Structure 1
Amino acid sequence: MPSLAAAETMSFGDSIGLLAKSCGAEIVANCRGVNPDSTRLKECLSRNRDVLSQQCQSDYLGAFDAIQKRVAARVTVANACQREIVKVCGGSTKETSKSIPCLVSTPKGIGNNCLKAVDDAGYR
């Protein structure tokens, strides 16, 4: 499991894995029935902070922060890769997700800012 120091590059799966490992019992005991989207689950854990284990308390904010960073990084791809999406991949900036396979597999013509955004978003 990656450390929270690597939160900027922690995958969605690793973030959820960290939450399950550190906070699984607390989620079952205190957040049963809560919609499992990250915002509601984070709010539930925050409301119940006084009954969370020390491990859960130290990990859950970092895990949710990593999820938010990953979501923001994926939004950044559309902005950082506009030229590449249109010119290299023949796609539309309105449908960025359809151009991801091209951005990942076509290193020629892809600028450094776009490559970094693709990497930060976890696509490569």
Structure 2
Amino acid sequence: MKQTETVRGHLTAFVQLLESEREALLENRGERVATIVEEKQTFLHTMAAVDLKTVDSSILKPLIETIRQLQETNLILTKQTLHYHKVVLDALGEGKKTGKTYSKQGTPTSSNQANLLNQSF
């Protein structure tokens, strides 16, 4: 029973860590997310040393389900953030295209202006 309480304490701390990660992801605080990832790795090393055969799993199932849901939420937030950054970088990366425009005389000319948005449909 003592082992179960120890594991419960670790899992509760991990839930709080995941909630902090979710908040950091929502606030786009990359440095904080990196610190949390390191803390999560430390937690995984700690849990790897625990003998789960001596733990009453029925007591821990609600915490484990909460952890699973938080992990899924954080993964979705991470993917959304990465996609957003990719879209922005792609849009800015296309910025040095030379476009074709028409001069006042009606002849085609090249434009060297930076295009921040892809205006093709």
TM-score by shorter chain over 0.5: no
Query: Which TM-score band applies after superposition, normalised by the shorter structure?
Result: 0.3 to 0.5
- Bigger RCO of structures 1 and 2 (CA < 8 A, at least 6 apart): 1
TM-score under structure 2 length normalisation: 0.35
Q: Which has the larger radius of gyration?
A: 2
> Which structure carries more strand by proportion?
2
TM-score under structure 1 length normalisation: 0.35
